[in-house]
Structure 1
Amino acid sequence: MNRKMNAALITHYKQEYPTIETVDMPKIGANDVLVKIVAASINPIDLKTKDGGLKMLLKYHMPLILGSDFAGVVTEVGAKVTTFKKGDAVYGRVQKNRIGTFAEYIAVDQGDIARKPQNLSFEEAAAVPLVGLTSYQALHDIMQIQPGQRVLIQAGSGGIGTIAIQLAKQMGAYVATTTSEKNRALVESLGADEVIDYRTQQFYDVLENYDYVFDTQGGKILEQAFRIIKPGGKVVSISGLPNARFADEYNVPFWKKFAFRLVTRNITKLEKTTQADYYFLFMKPSGQQLAILSRMIEEEKIHPVIDRVLPFTQIAQAFEYSHSGRAKGKIILKMFDPSVEHE
């Protein structure tokens, strides 16, 4: 008989909110661990997935359990697992074809997780994996920021922005960011050197000659980023569209690569005009990079910013609040209390 668990799932795209249902618990492979999830975070990619916004990149089968990152406790290990043992407190971002962290349990490859930072609660740790890895891969892997270089981080008070500002400062960058005036104190406390109130100023009227832009908005705001970029600079987006460079890296089929070329024609023109490079970032899970972030957190060089923690049963309210775009930092779902014994 299959063991059961509660999970938040959708049965079709554009479903208003995920609903909590009873489903079979996941089975682990030889390289997997089974984690009892204590907390998970809501990310914009969850909303995009729910609404079918990633169908061009990823094909999911329904019903689909949502959720991409988590913190929890290992309850079982696969035959080839050597890095973790039962009882370890861990956190991670699962592979895109294995999403499902809005559930009581998740099966995840041992290479995609790391030990939870000792100075964080499970709720705080759950706020880190997706935004931390995304920011690290943008700023460290793609931009390769050097001390003194200038970077604009869009939406500095959001989940990505609050971590990205801190990481960029640790790398020695001069950091500008956009936010509303009411969030100025928050982003300045995280290290922002220059704050643009997007409600009263256009960032391209204030900034110029920047080495990098980290775009979290897409659309026209992404195109406007090229107005401040210097020749040889890089614009990295998580909200724009994949281009031919992305297609080459991921070896996508020819027809899809052609489609990417068509939809990013304006971006390609801007690249040529400004002599800058555009990168679409599709973050990759990495236990090794999470371990780097853990050390930085334990050394108190960076820390997560949490807007609110809601019980799993209030997932509809959590999605509604996430969709509003008003969150300062991360929205966390608490699955259960680890201090209480559970079957």
Structure 2
Amino acid sequence: MHEFGSPDVLRYEDAPRPDPLDDEVLVHVHAAGVNPVDWRIRQGMQMVSMLPENPFPLILGMDVSGVVEEVGASVTEFETGNAVFGVNGFPELGSYAEYSATSAEQLAPKPKSLDHEEAAGVPVVTQTAWQALFEYTDCTADQRVLIHGAAGGVGHMAVQLAKWKGADVIATASGYSEDYLRKLGVDEFVNYREERFESVIDDVDIVVDTVGGEIPARSVDVLKENGELVSVVGQPSGVLTNNRDIDVQVVSGRSNSPSLLTTISELIDVGEVRPTISAKFPLENAAHAHEVGETEHVQGKLVLSVT
């Protein structure tokens, strides 16, 4: 892209192949995940202050899955031909391309049970869900965990991770997603279009909010004393704890643990969690993928097929 704006600013054109730095890996990209942060950056609404003064031309994309083409001088954990998946850092980005230079610390061996398109749907949303449940809070068996927007990218992985820990999971989503979420293991379901969750849910230990708006403020009423509210969509507004002992936190979405992706890969390969890929688009149709992501209720993830 050469400017901020609507999806049509995304152009499919030739760009120079990047050269990896000493601590980077050049990945021959097979697939790239599409995340809400991608279109917010495209719109100029998020993280713009972290970009260089003149960031264009800018190649979007954080989630990446592919094969190692070349390794930097100091990289010892990967070699040419390894199948990997991971996260392109910010502000470098760059997975919407045939080749991407990615920090070796943000890569891990691709789960053997997933193809590249499935693997590209994993990194950002699963790391974010993991942080929300196990780093910013401490989700354990028999806790009640309420997940807003449970059918989306972060939400559907949070459901599976919470169930893996033995928690009782309550999901909010549209009625269209009830059967899907029941199959993922949710214990209680609230159709937000038909009823207010705070009217039917209480005694919750952890709330994970992937929606924003008025949802965090309303969620305070369903939390137990010493409950925890975690937002993955930025600082919540209007949250009044009314002198109750409730912890409110915001997840950064960027893990500082190089081993986390490896742990996630292992959980996938033993069948504990699995990404849902709602739709696949060829790289040249990235603009259409953004249109779908911004305007439709997506179950799981959208991905771009690159090679």
* TM-score > 0.5, shorter chain as reference: yes
Amino acid at match of 2:248: Y
Structure 1 residues 295, 170: closer, same or farther in 2, change over 3 A? same
**5+ long unaligned stretches in structure 1:** 1-9, 243-263, 337-343
CA distance in 1, matches of 2:119, 2:203: 36
CA distance in 2, matches of 1:123, 1:98: 22
Pair 1:29-2:21 in alignment: yes
The counterpart of 2:80, out of the listed 78, 86, 90, is 86
Q: Which has the higher helix share?
A: 1
Quote the residue 2:254 is aligned against: 284
Give CA-to-partner distance per residue, 1:61-114, whole Å, 9 cap, x none. Answer: 222111111100000001111100000000001212221111111111111110
RMSD of the alignment, in Å? 1.5
Partner of 2:100: 106
2:182 is the alignment partner of 1:188: yes
The structure-2 alpha-carbon separation of the partners of 1:114 and 1:13, relative to structure 1 and needing over 3 Å to count, comes to same
Q: Do structure 1's residue 300 and structure 2's residue 271 form an aligned pair?
A: yes
Structure 1 residue aligned with 2:211: 217
Q: CA separation in 2, counterparts of 1:77 and 1:114? A: 14
| Contact 1:219-1:240 at 8 Å conserved across structures | no
User: C-alpha separation between the residues in 1 aligned to 2:47 and 2:253?
Assistant: 17
Determine the structure 2 residue equivalent to 1:39: 31
Paired residue secondary structure (2:7): coil
TM superposition shift of 1:21: 2.1
Q: Which residue of 2 aligns with 1:168?
A: 162
Q: CA deviation at 1:281?
A: 0.9
* Alignment of 1:311 onto 2:282: yes
Residue 272 of structure 1 deviates from its aligned partner by: 5.1
Aligned length: 303
Q: Please give the secondary structure, in 2, of the residue aligned with 1:65.
A: coil
- Who is 2:61 aligned against? 67
1:14 aligns with 2:5: yes
CA distance in 2, matches of 1:278, 1:154: 15
**By how many angstroms is 1:222 displaced?**
1.9
Q: Deviations over 1:17-59 (max 9, x none)?
A: 3111221121211111100100011111111111122147633
Letter of the 1:182 partner, please give it: Y
User: What letter is aligned with 2:85?
Assistant: Y
Q: After TM superposition, list the pairs within 5 Å mapping 1:228-307 onto structure 2.
A: 228-241=222-235, 264=237, 266-267=238-239, 270-271=240-241, 273-285=243-255, 286-307=257-278
Equivalent AA in structure 1 for residue 215 of structure 2: I
Alpha-carbon distance in 1 for matches of 2:280, 2:50: 29
Residue 51 of structure 1 corresponds to: 43
Give, in whole Å, the separation in 2 of the partners of 1:11 and 1:223. 38
Residue 292 of structure 2 corresponds to which residue in structure 1?
A: 321
Shift of 1:277: 1.3
Deviation per residue, 1:139-159 (Å, 9 max, x gap): 111111111111111111111
Q: 1:186, 1:55 → 2: CA distance?
A: 33
Work out whether residues 217 and 240 of structure 1, in 8 Å CA contact, stay in contact via their aligned partners in 2. no
What is the DSSP-based 3-state SS (H/G/I as helix, E as strand, rest coil) of the residue aligned with 1:223? helix
**Superposition misfits of 4+ residues, deviation over 6 angstroms:** none
Which of 101, 115, 125 aligns to 2:119? It is 125
Identity of aligned residues (%): 35
Secondary structure class of the residue paired with 2:14: strand
> Which residue in the other structure is 1:249 paired with?
none
Identify the residue that residue 208 of structure 1 maps to in structure 2: 202
Which runs of no fewer than 5 residues in structure 2 stay unpaired?
Answer: none
